[in-house]
Amino acid sequence: MSTKPSKAAAKSTDSRIAENRKALFNYAIEERFEAGMVLQGWEVKALREGKVQLTDGYVVIREGELYLIGCQINPLNTASTHVSPDSVRTKKLLLHKDQIRRLVGKVEQKGHTLVPLNLHWKSGKVKCEIALGKGKAEHDKRDTIKDREGKREVERAMKQHSR
């Protein structure tokens, strides 16, 4: 038997379009959700080319629905002439009703917010991974930086020692 994955299995794996690294630094992530996105044709084409910025994006809940605001998808130069692309258009996110109800209760708690973590392809569809996070205090951010730099120094020392 072969342990190599089939072509179909290889195609179904996630491929990242864009990532919001700032979110992991600014928020302590408690829960993650994968939501579908309502997009226009030109937006999908631009995503295939990687013309997206997610760092300033955030998620709001309006009338029991989720919306992604601040995600900038830059149109291609070859965009259609009959469509006027809006790069900062508010995009609707698709999630189950019971998940949205649960998120509404959590977001109403003090300090909790919904942030987009990344955009990725899944089975030919664009998905947005969103997270329920709590804002980090300034001293927590400094601790994160200190830990990261400490790990780098240890790796450097190990690399020098192995030579």
- 86-116: pLDDT as tens digits: 777 888 899 898 888 888 888 887 778 888 9
126-132 mean pLDDT: 89
- Higher local confidence (pLDDT), 152 or 3: 152
User: Is the confidence at residue 5, as pLDDT, over 70?
Assistant: no
Residue 67 pLDDT? 92
Query: pTM for this structure?
Result: 0.71
68-95 mean pLDDT: 80
How far apart are the C-alpha atoms of 113 and 104, rounded to whole Å? 10
How far apart are the C-alpha atoms of 72 and 55, rounded to whole Å? 9
